[in-house]
């Protein structure tokens, strides 16, 4: 655990992890260093109980596979315990104010992870909780996924600086978080979305401000072929996320030109890798021969959710106390 040994006084202890706008480049690099260390240790069969006696309350208002399993396994392997709290099985589902929930749960647990719809929900919980709050996903941001994405890119490309990432599809929570994080670490980031589905203006502006430090590129366009030209990393997501099912038909029409297929991938660099946060709809946002092809590293990416989130848990919950 080289990174932790060099940083016994952790710079992120007690912090929230809601989106990347509150984080600095060195803090992201610190998290990535821990993620790399815990992944290597696990591969050698070494599981260190950094979170012995710590508990994580996990509030779910959205269904989950990767988020729930990776956080539960992560806490277990770090010596802690995770509690699954569904919306329907808690007083939140009966209208208890979030402010009250945050203050009550803070008396019981060491931290909170929330997977929900409105980003305001995690912001309210963070405001009133006295323990760290981690955004497991909201409609606006998905920082845990993107931290794992950065780890995956770093593993396959050897660096993040100067790497060009192109995201094709809905300007959703993934696009917003990719803009923030990629710009912070010196990557070139391009987003190609239909005009009515662009990423948040705030995320774009934040990325452009960060890019000035690196003289890197931030592009938002409606042209997927222009965006993907010579890209090192190609990324997409589903066209209709949870809560948007009623828009599925109209989105199918709007996003049809944005499918990541072999023709589109041919404009990227020959050694480009393909990423998808999953679950995927083969034949919709991505062709089967791309997501199942030799350039796809989606399962490395999915695995890294475990390691990246362990890093967040160790850093925020105080694994070196």
pLDDT in tens, 107-162: 999 999 999 999 999 999 999 999 999 999 999 999 999 999 999 999 999 999 99
Sign of CA dihedral 47, 48, 53, 54: negative
The answer to whether residues 34 and 172 belong to one domain is no
Q: Is 163 inside any structural domain?
A: yes
Was 200 annotated as part of a binding site? no
The reply to whether 277 belongs to the active site is yes
Strand partners, 185: none
* Cβ atoms of 64 and 133 closer than 8 Å: no
The answer to whether residues 136 and 168 belong to one domain is no
The answer to whether residues 156 and 131 belong to one domain is no
The answer to whether residues 172 and 71 belong to one domain is no
Was 86 annotated as part of a binding site? no
Q: Which of 15, 119, 251, 305 is catalytic?
A: 305
The reply to whether 237 belongs to the active site is yes
Q: Is the peptide bond before 279 cis (omega within 30 degrees of 0)?
A: yes
pTM of the shown model? 0.95
**Per-residue confidence band for 79, with pLDDT thresholds at 50, 70 and 90:** very high
Q: Which of 16, 141, 145, 276 is catalytic?
A: 145
The reply to whether 305 belongs to the active site is yes
| Half-sphere exposure (Cβ direction) of 45: Cα atoms closer than 13 Å | 0
Q: Which of 15, 170, 251, 277 is catalytic?
A: 277
What value does the mean pLDDT take over residues 76-90? 92
Q: Which of 15, 115, 119, 251 is catalytic?
A: 115
pLDDT in tens, 307-320: 999 999 999 998 54
For residue 110, the domain's CATH number is 3.40.50.1370
Note the pLDDT of residue 64: 93
Q: Is 6 inside any structural domain?
A: no
The answer to whether residues 238 and 214 belong to one domain is yes
What value does the mean pLDDT take over residues 168-177? 98
**Per-residue confidence band for 224, with pLDDT thresholds at 50, 70 and 90:** very high
The answer to whether residues 226 and 155 belong to one domain is yes
The answer to whether residues 178 and 105 belong to one domain is no
The answer to whether residues 73 and 162 belong to one domain is no
Would you give the end-to-end CA distance of the chain in angstroms? 15
Was 100 annotated as part of a binding site? no
pLDDT in tens, 266-314: 999 999 999 999 999 999 999 999 999 999 999 999 999 999 999 999 9
Query: Rounded to whole angstroms, how far apart are CA atoms 37 and 32?
Result: 9
Q: Which of 210, 237, 301, 307 is catalytic?
A: 237
The answer to whether residues 267 and 154 belong to one domain is yes
The answer to whether residues 151 and 292 belong to one domain is yes
Was 278 annotated as part of a binding site? yes
Residue that is written with structure tokens 């929330």 in the block: 114
The side-by-side arrangement of strands in the sheet containing 55-60 is 81-86, 55-60, 111-115, 133-137
The answer to whether residues 212 and 276 belong to one domain is yes
The total of structural domains in the chain comes to: 2
**Per-residue confidence band for 75, with pLDDT thresholds at 50, 70 and 90:** very high
Was 15 annotated as part of a binding site? no
> Residue 67 belongs to what domain range?
25-141+305-318
Q: What percent of the chain has pLDDT over 90?
A: 89
Was 309 annotated as part of a binding site? no
Q: Is 11 inside any structural domain?
A: no
């Amino acid at each position: 655990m080289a990174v932790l040994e060099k940083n016994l006084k952790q710079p992120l202890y007690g912090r929230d992890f809601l989106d990347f706008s509150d984080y600095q480049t060195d803090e992201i690099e610190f998290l990535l260093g821990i993620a790399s260390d815990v992944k290597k240790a696990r591969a050698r069969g070494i599981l260190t109980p950094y979170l012995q006696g710590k508990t994580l309350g996990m509030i779910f208002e959205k269904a989950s596979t990767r988020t729930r399993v990776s956080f539960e396994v992560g806490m277990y392997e770090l010596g802690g315990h995770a509690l699954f709290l569904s919306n329907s099985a808690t007083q939140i589902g009966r209208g208890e104010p979030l402010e009250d929930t945050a203050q009550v749960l803070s008396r019981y647990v060491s931290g909170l992870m929330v997977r929900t719809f409105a980003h305001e929900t995690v912001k309210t919980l963070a405001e009133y909780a006295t323990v760290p709050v981690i955004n497991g996903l909201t409609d606006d941001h998905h920082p845990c996924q993107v931290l794992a994405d950065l780890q995956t890119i770093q593993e396959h490309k050897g660096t993040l600086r100067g790497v060009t990432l192109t995201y094709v599809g809905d300007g959703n929570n993934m696009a917003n978080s990719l803009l923030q994080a990629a710009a912070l670490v010196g990557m070139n980031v391009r987003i190609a979305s239909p005009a009515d589905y662009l990423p948040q203006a705030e995320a774009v502006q934040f990325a452009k401000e960060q890019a000035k430090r690196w003289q890197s590129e931030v592009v938002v366009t409606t042209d997927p072929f222009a965006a993907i030209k010579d890209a090192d990393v190609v990324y997409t997501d589903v066209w209709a996320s949870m809560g948007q099912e009623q828009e599925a038909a109209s989105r199918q029409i709007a996003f049809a030109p944005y499918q990541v297929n072999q023709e589109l991938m041919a404009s990227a660099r020959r050694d480009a890798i393909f990423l998808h946060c999953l679950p995927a709809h083969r034949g919709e946002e991505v062709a089967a021969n791309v997501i199942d092809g030799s350039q796809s590293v989606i399962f490395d990416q999915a695995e890294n959710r475990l390691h990246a989130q362990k890093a967040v848990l160790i850093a925020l919950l105080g694994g070196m106390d």
